[in-house]
Structure 1
């Protein structure tokens, strides 16, 4: 046991000796906090797929940033471009839902397809020249996380957490009874727009580590695991954050230890946590909370 402890300590010390791994853990902890924080509202509103939709919109934003950099010969931040495009896409989804006969799933499908189509067209216009840069955002990477990226993610985490805290009661009211919230004088449309914009911020913030393809999973899977065990929304939210932290910390460590993709490993661990929670719920162990 003592030998194992020494070996484990040596492994952890070696891993944290690398600057990029320290950045990865800071980024991962932020993602594992803020993604289920927002995702809890989305899942209970049956909007789980909006994360995937905004991830594809963010893909278009990355392509726009890289395309403009290539054409103009100047540096246009793909990260900033993705943030702008994802927020615009989030508002577009909500506006389509509010002012047309298009239901949420249809508006999300339109934006998802449009975002991916725009990204692929821009890639083709450069004869694939920006494809290498886009791959970094499609699949995520630990080694390319820069200090500035992590600082932006920390800032987004603080911003999103503060907004959720200040709007918690209204968001909760709208989540579970939109009609009653409207009668109570809550601006439902404003709360809906706020939620989709927060989702866009989370998606873009987590994109560089998780990748566009997998980022939406962190909005949904930990929350799905938590709902198997919790009795109340608040306890579900806390359990979802705990499940996400387990997935991110374990997945990042396994990624370093075995040289495998971080985003995919994190999501697979999260799914494993969900399966365990579902099994525990199925065999009748009393729910938490």
Structure 2
């Protein structure tokens, strides 16, 4: 982590996350030496793989709830507002010469946007897709305006956030993602039953005394965290795909919510690891490569689901002799 980050972050947090990053790097370096894997010789790949693995858990963990609630597009809306958050961070740094991390500003703006989506729906009785469209267009417009105000410096710096980049995952950014990962997994673990109840039957959840608007806001804010975390290697444009594609593929293979959740994590991890490897080998955009691999896995899952269905139908339709 940079000296500035170390000075501003809590000592326990820096020491803990720094130790984890160092041990992770040592483990991958040993693995690379033992197996002769060239890409594991570089520290930036160690961080990129760590970020990818964490995203492979976070994205389907939240995405499974979103898909079952028919809110798959909220990830896209928050990704565009996260872009505005990045633009805010870059603009403030360029104009006032301060050291604000664009990922920190993206987290703040995306979480505020998540609350706005829920509040617009509650106050105006508009459908969720209407509030998402309003927030999406506002966020992207704000980002575009801020970039145009200082096009010379910001336009170049923003490219890595739009498309993702393996080599730009710094220790500071990896630390931010570790914190987001701990928060997301911890909140879901604590509120799992309530989130599940609200996901499948809001009316019954209200009758049972569950504060439905509160848990809707919690889910929206968790989605914002995932979007910003995944933006490091996926980019703003493609980040929403990791919330949806692995979940859609898992739905073809698994039965039940927990089964689909576990299957989606496995598919997401496979897409991330294969995508990062191909991106390194062929020097392609990380986000695009990961999404293409994820879509390929989805197609295979659909075909496998069709084959399984065809095999089960005759058995279900058999008549006793």
Short-chain TM bin: over 0.9
Q: What is residue 292 of structure 2 aligned with on the other side?
A: 268
Which one of the candidate residues 89, 96, 109 is aligned to 2:113? 89
Q: CA deviation at 1:155?
A: 1.5
Q: Aligned partners of 1:128, 1:90: CA distance in 2, in Å?
A: 30
Q: Aligned partners of 1:214, 1:255: CA distance in 2, in Å?
A: 15
Which one of the candidate residues 1, 9, 21 is aligned to 2:35? 9
Which one of the candidate residues 71, 78, 81 is aligned to 1:54? 78
Q: CA deviation at 1:128?
A: 4.0
Q: CA deviation at 1:74?
A: 2.0
Q: Aligned partners of 2:151, 2:167: CA distance in 1, in Å?
A: 27
Structure 2 unaligned regions, length at least 5 = 1-33, 313-321
Q: What is residue 5 of structure 1 aligned with on the other side?
A: none
- Residues 249-286 of structure 1: per-residue CA shift (max 9 Å, x gap): 00001111111111111111110111011111112357
Q: Aligned partners of 2:204, 2:151: CA distance in 1, in Å?
A: 53
Q: Comparing both chains, which one has the higher relative contact order based on Cα–Cα distances under 8 Å and sequence gaps of 6 or more?
A: 1
Q: CA deviation at 1:35?
A: 0.5
Q: What is residue 130 of structure 2 aligned with on the other side?
A: 106
Which one of the candidate residues 178, 200, 218 is aligned to 1:194? 218
SS of residue matched to 2:265: helix
Q: Aligned partners of 1:75, 1:148: CA distance in 2, in Å?
A: 12
Which one of the candidate residues 45, 57, 67 is aligned to 1:21? 45
Q: Aligned partners of 1:34, 1:197: CA distance in 2, in Å?
A: 13
Structure 1 unaligned regions, length at least 5 = 1-7
Runs of 4 or more above 3 Å deviation: none
Which one of the candidate residues 280, 286, 289 is aligned to 1:256? 280
| TM-score, reference length from structure 2 | 0.85
| TM-score, reference length from structure 1 | 0.94
CA RMSD of aligned residues (A): 1.6
Q: Aligned partners of 1:76, 1:18: CA distance in 2, in Å?
A: 27
- Residues 186-212 of structure 1: per-residue CA shift (max 9 Å, x gap): 100011000000000011111111100
Q: CA deviation at 1:72?
A: 1.1
Which one of the candidate residues 68, 85, 95 is aligned to 2:92? 68
